[in-house]
Structure 1
Amino acid sequence: MTSDAVFLFTYGTLMQGFSNPFAQRLHTLSTFEGKGSFPGTLYKIDWYPGAVYDTENQNRIYGEVYKIMVPEILFPELDEYEDVFEDEEKSLYMRKIIPVLMNNGVLIDCWTYIYNQDITNIEIIKSGDFRHANF
């Protein structure tokens, strides 16, 4: 995987149908590529989810892939939204490149915001799909 990936996998409030300003900004500065998933566990952190990537996990996290047109502009804005800090211990999420399996069977390396805090006693979204979480 290379660090110059221009794709972003979203699994929460940045997906289509969410009207927050950051989702709107993402949809303006990117192209929707399709739906996909990766292995791991999805947690209900609060009114938003947190994903933990785990190649050994049989469960999948479902979301959307976007091709980013201007990563140098968009990623700093999204990093702020996702509370990504230079001090990794304080970061709510970490932006990492992981392989995402698209629904059409193609594997794409995507930037993804991975939850970076303690998951002890946090509710699991068993479906792996934030849209199916009960809030």
Structure 2
Amino acid sequence: MPAQLLFVYGTLRPAFGRPMALWFGTVARHKGKGSAKGALYRIADYPGFVPGPNGVVAGDVFELPDPTPVLAKLDIYEECSPDFLPPHEYRREMLAVDMPDGPVQAWVYVYARPTDGLERLENGDLSA
């Protein structure tokens, strides 16, 4: 299977240093900064991304040399694997992500619940 890309915008970003981000950095190769059209919301101590035409969300793009086991583990982390009963908080989707050399298609964990009452991070960057 060819390598695939994953766009991360929250706690999986290298700057956050959480255990899952540290593991992720050992199984994926950082390709560079990226951004996706949409909005970023503060859920708790983590964000949720909702794609859409208004706004830009900053993140990092990673190459997954062996995507099947990595995505399976991340689906469990994001609680959207078949092991979790719906409704899931996130779903994994393939979306367009802008990078300095042009757009790419990448997996993104999209927030799947209503955003009413959530704080929108207007700058679209959790690390800012």
Q: TM-score normalized by structure 1?
A: 0.87
Whole-angstrom CA distance in 2 between matches of 1:49 and 1:41? 10
Residue 110 of structure 1, aligned match among 103, 106, 110: 106
Unaligned runs of 5+ in 1: none
Q: Does the 8 Å CA contact 2:72/2:81 hold for their aligned counterparts?
A: no
State the 1:129 CA deviation.
0.1
Instruction: Tell me the distance in 2 between the aligned counterparts of 1:127 and 1:27.
Output: 25
What's the counterpart of residue 88 of structure 2? 91
Letter in 1 for 2:93: K
- Mapped partners of 1:89, 1:43: distance in 2: 21
Shift of 1:88: 7.9
Aligned to 2:76: 80
Q: Distance in 2 between the 1:22 and 1:70 partners?
A: 17
- On the 8 A contact 1:50/1:115 being kept in 2, the answer is yes
**Residues in 1 aligned to 2:19 and 2:47: alpha-carbon distance in whole angstroms:** 18
| Corresponding residue of 1:53 | 51
More strand by share: 2
Offset, 1:21: 2.1
Give the Å deviation of 1:19.
Answer: 2.2
Give, as a single letter, the amino acid of the residue that structure 1 aligns with 2:88: S
How far residue 85 of structure 1 moved from its aligned partner, in angstroms, is 3.6
CA drift of 1:26 comes to 1.2
Q: CA RMSD in A?
A: 1.6
- How far apart are 1:14 and its partner, in Å? 0.2
- Report the 3-state secondary structure (helix = DSSP H, G, I; strand = E; otherwise coil) of the residue aligned with 2:62: strand
> What TM-score results when the alignment is normalised by the length of structure 2?
0.91
Whether the aligned pair in 1 keeps the contact of 2:41 and 2:48 (CA below 8 Å) is yes
The 3-state SS of whatever aligns with 2:41 is: strand
Give the secondary structure class of the aligned counterpart of 1:84. coil
Match of 2:67 in 1: 71
* Matching of residue 6 in structure 1 with residue 4 in structure 2: yes
Q: How has the CA–CA distance of structure 1 residues 5 and 108 changed in structure 2, closer, same or farther, with 3 Å as cutoff?
A: farther
1:101 is aligned, of 98, 105, 128, to 98
How far did residue 101 of structure 1 move?
A: 0.4
